[in-house]
Amino acid sequence: MSRNFWLIVAVLVALAIGTQYLVWINRDRTNEQTYAGPPRSDYTLTNFTLDALNTDGQRTFQVSGPYLARRGDDGSIFVTTPDYELVDGSGNPWKGKSDSAWVDKDGTLMELRGHVEMHRQGGEKAQPLDLVTSNLTTWPKDKKMETAEAATITQAGSILSGIGLRGDLNEKTLELLSDVESTIQPKQRRK
């Protein structure tokens, strides 16, 4: 074996080592031990009541329930089987229940998930009213609500049902969007 042969072998070995070194330097450096599971809660509460206030210090909504978890990554909260109270533009309370709720960090968006029931008590400024729907999105500070699901509105003497609902509690309006049906009792049968 000649000297040229050993020189070619040495150059090829040096090239192989150099190539491996370049591959090692330019490798993807993600940490394989990074945990990528579900977001963890900053804290949890049991049997709690939470009052959300606007910038003037007035309550925009209240929520209470058996369990609350606050997510650390975005500051939102999750509530199981909440009882809540929203206030309309005239100060009338709307009390309700749902299967669960999600509230964003600023309290400007509250999603009432699953079966939702809301009740406005009667008073000088408003008649009693019941609303039954599911998956209701509310904007408590703006006093608005919306769903694409079936909804039923019951008031003294009338029952309205339809698919989709928009509401503005400042204006005291609830609008059913499609497939609307109504049942109206005559005045003499109302009690």
The 10s digit of each residue's pLDDT in 22-77 is 888 887 776 666 655 555 667 788 898 888 877 788 777 888 999 988 887 788 88
SS3 content of the chain, % helix, strand, coil (to 5): 15, 55, 30
Query: Residue 120: which H helix or E strand, with range?
Result: strand 110-120
- Span 127-172, pLDDT tens digits: 889 999 999 999 988 889 999 999 999 988 889 999 999 999 888 8
Residue 190 has pLDDT above 70, yes or no: no
Longest pairwise C-alpha distance within the chain: 119
Q: What is the pLDDT of residue 37?
A: 53
pLDDT average, residue stretch 69-86? 87
Residue 21 has pLDDT above 60, yes or no: yes
Per-residue pLDDT band for 94 (boundaries 50, 70, 90) equals confident
Residue 126 has pLDDT above 80, yes or no: no
Parallel, antiparallel, or unpaired for β 59-71 and 41-53?
Answer: antiparallel
pTM for this predicted structure: 0.70
Q: What is the pLDDT of residue 114?
A: 94
